[in-house]
Chain A
């Protein structure tokens, strides 16, 4: 399966989706002009991956900032991950960023996927 490796920019996050190395990570800032358009390839990739996933999937969110349009798409990603067995989320937040911690808690209440919270 293809590897997605997108460098981050000032308004889009860095994204790595690599099943061979077991790395699934979104990090940085997310405020793209068109978030649906930006995240569509990620959702398509996960759709394909969900057909025959790894025995375990640890999906890392290490976001510094995301806008509200991105939050809707993050929920779409989480909903997709919900369908993949043996998946868990590692939600990173800066140790003094209560809003990012709370955002993670809220997402964890909206989907049936285990969340681990970690600071950086």
Chain B
């Protein structure tokens, strides 16, 4: 039973206020959002910070719902496993997610995130407008291709990410977004 204590310790050391692991759906997204909102309301969080956290959470959670790849083992899809966490420190919120993606998507995703991180506030604004104007419509999964750009814009910080190899077919994609609680505008 030691793992329970260890998990509890990890959550405290990492200052995690919410961890969810498992299947992600729109219903789960709404529940997680409601919990985080209640938590922020309870401590009287600044409304601007609350909105930014909510914003980044939605994009992060809906990304997982749309893009987390089902792991196939012996031909049968196993499940849409992913993890989502919120950490709260004195000076910031950390919104993190992790989900498996197919190895052949790693390079594209890596390039996209590198590109976003290379842009400043004005560059991100222009990139956002460029993507929203492009007459492509939504992807088959219903994404606008704007989620990461919006997360970078709302947080005003670089997106931190990593790909951990999981074998021949999949990598585990981890993403961390920081939202400062101190100065309202840290860009």
Contact = CB atoms under 8 A, between A and B. Distances in A.
Interface of A: 10-11, 31, 33-36, 65, 67-69, 71-72, 75, 94, 96-99, 106, 109-110
Given A96-B47, A109-B129, A110-B132, A67 B34 contact: no
B58 interface: yes
Which among B65, B128, B138, B154 has the highest number of chain A CB atoms within 10 Å?
Answer: B138
Interface of B: 26, 30, 34, 47-48, 51-52, 54-55, 58-59, 62, 65, 125, 128-129, 132-133, 137-138, 142-144, 146-147, 149-150, 154
Contact of B59 (A34, A35, A68, A97): A68
B54 A65 contact: yes
B interface secondary structure, majority = helix
A10 B51 contact: no
Contacts of B144: 68-69, 71-72
Contacts of B52: 99
A106 B48 contact: no
Given A67-B62, A69-B62, 16 more contacts: A31-B58, A34-B142, A36-B137, A36-B138, A65-B58, A68-B59, A68-B143, A68-B144, A69-B146, A71-B132, A97-B51, A106-B125, A106-B129, A109-B129, A110-B129, A110-B132
Contact of A99 (B51, B59, B138): B51
Nearest to A11: B30
Contacts of A69: 62, 138, 142-144, 146
B133 A110 contact: yes
A10 B146 contact: no
Contacts of A35: 138, 142
Contacts of A75: 132-133
